[in-house]
Amino acid sequence: MNIRQEKIIEILRQAASLSTLDLARSFDVSDETIRRDLKQLAEEGIVEKFHGGVRLSVANTEAPFEQRLRIQPAAKQAMAQACETLVPDGTTLFLDNSSSACFLARLLARKKGLTIITLSLQSARILAEGGDGNRIIVPGGELRPSDMTITGASAIRFAAQFSPELFIFSVAAVSSTRGCLDFDLFEAEYKAALMPYAAETVLLADSSKFGASGLIQTCGLENIGVLVTDAPPPPAFAGAFDEETRIIVAG
């Protein structure tokens, strides 16, 4: 599964069904390219095609989040190992609900004295499996079953009470002109709302995210204090990040 196919699934989670023409316009690719992507997803039983459009398959019982965990696993593991060095024992941090955060959570579970605020029950469970060495804080709100994320305005208000040292997150895409992008409105809203409360902002973005398509701006690249990635950003991003942004290439 390629990154565009992952994004198609994310969009269909929100829109229920879309025409192939709408998808082609969204990703700025040809109708033929989208049809090839959809053909593969249909063969895997993830989507169902109908005349002029597509929707998620009712027979597809695997959660989209589980699919995301299988995309770029080596890159996400390498980034997690690099990011772990930024989190010494005793750190306070906000950890988002991305699949990249789950890879990092497995490593943070071995540390001591961390205070971790997260909206992700997936990451909270992984952290809890490490024992009682860390403090895990999860706000109340409405549970989104597809990725086990706590959503809603009350969750944002609760999390905004904290002023952690680090805000660690990922996004759907990184643009040299539009900054960090997501497809889900709540994803963009809560990240933008909580980011200013942290002393340092850390973005986890593998190489497939650079130049990828996105719908909603989460933040500008000037808001990124540390970028952790698996390969140097493309030439188009030269000068896009703030001069003080630290770029860590994992691996």
Structure confidence by residue, pLDDT tens digits, 14-30: 666 788 888 988 888 99
Contacts of 149-153 spanning 24+ positions with Cβ under 8 A: 149/97, 149/119, 149/120, 149/121, 150/119, 150/120, 150/121, 151/119, 151/186, 151/190
Q: Are 117 and 162 contacting, i.e. CB atoms less than 8 angstroms apart?
A: yes
What are the chain's domains? Answer: 3-61 (1.10.10.10), 67-249 (3.40.50.1360)
Cα separation, 121 vs 201, whole angstroms: 21
Average pLDDT (87-100) is 97
pTM, rounded to two decimals: 0.78
How much is the pLDDT for 92?
99
Task: Share the mean pLDDT of the chain.
Answer: 91
Tokens representing 119 are 């909206």
Q: 78 or 5: whose pLDDT is higher?
A: 78
Rounded CA-CA distance 128/63 in Å is 22
**Residue 61 pLDDT grade (very low, low, confident, very high; cuts 50, 70, 90):** very low
Q: What is the pLDDT of residues 39-51, one digit of tens each?
A: 998 887 788 888 8
